[in-house]
């Protein structure tokens, strides 16, 4: 395996997923913003209220979609959002269903690094970190395909998942 450098991904992704916001989150954003648009519409006219409402909802949706974290495994690292864990420090990997994910999130080690996106999935993967210098002894990464992500992390770097 090539030597890993901070902030550098590998060249051959074996797993890649983007944690898009779920439709429920997009609807909630619109429902929360709508009263503000109504208030501005009542104070400054319906046209301004509609324009402001559509503009703010559009910007909020664009931010939610644009900030969706990427989960990627390649020959060098596990990347979850902007964080990277060199594969040489990936220990035990366990797929989590909705119930196990909820238990691990609430009753595990408080130093656990978590990449969670509300509304995108109810499953995830628990990764034990073997680097003694890492302040996070484990990672919880939300994913729609916990079996595939776990298999990619357990496979050699050149294999395809």
pLDDT digits (tens, 9 = 90+) for 85-143: 999 999 999 999 999 999 998 887 899 999 998 877 789 999 999 999 999 999 999 99
Return the pLDDT at 152: 94
Length of the chain: 161
Tell me the average pLDDT across 30-59. Answer: 92
Distance of CA 133 to the CA centre of its chain: 24
pLDDT at 5: 59
Average pLDDT, the chain: 88
Residue 159: per-residue pLDDT: 40
Residue 1 predicted with pLDDT over 60: no
Tell me if the pTM is above 0.75: yes
Q: pLDDT tens digits, residue range 49-67?
A: 999 999 999 999 999 999 9
Please classify residue 136 by burial: count the beta carbons closer than 10 Å to its beta carbon, then call 0-12 exposed, 13-18 middle and 19+ buried. Answer: middle
How big is the CA angle at 161 (ends 8 and 90), to the nearest 5 degrees?
50
Residues in contact with 102: Cβ distance below 8 Å, sequence separation at least 6, in sequence order: none
For 115, the token pair is 């990449």
Q: Given strand 113-115, what is the order of strands in its sheet?
A: 90-96, 124-129, 138-142, 113-115
Q: What percent of the chain has pLDDT over 70?
A: 91
What is the predicted pLDDT for the residue at 156?
73
- Phi then psi for 158, rounded to 5 degrees? -90, -10
Transcribe 82-151 into DSSP letters.
Answer: TEEEEGGGEEEEEEE-HHHHHHHHHHS-TT-EEE--TTT-S-EEEEEE--TT-S-SEEEEE-S-HHHHHH
């Amino acid at each position: 395996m090539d030597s890993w450098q901070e902030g550098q991904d590998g060249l051959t992704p074996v797993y890649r997923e983007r944690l898009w916001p779920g439709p429920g989150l997009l609807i909630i954003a619109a429902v929360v913003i709508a009263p503000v648009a109504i208030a501005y519409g009542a104070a400054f006219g319906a046209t301004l209220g509609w324009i402001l409402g559509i503009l703010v909802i559009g910007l909020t949706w664009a931010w939610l979609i644009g900030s969706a974290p990427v989960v990627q495994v390649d020959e060098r690292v596990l990347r979850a959002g902007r964080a990277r864990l060199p594969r040489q420090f990936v220990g035990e990997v366990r797929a989590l269903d909705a119930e196990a994910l909820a238990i691990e999130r609430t009753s595990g080690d408080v130093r656990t690094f978590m990449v969670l996106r509300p509304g995108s999935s109810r499953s995830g993967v628990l990764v034990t970190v073997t680097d003694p210098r890492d302040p996070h002894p484990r990672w919880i990464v939300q994913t729609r395909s916990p079996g595939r992500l776990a298999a990619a992390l357990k496979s050699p770097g050149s294999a395809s998942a």
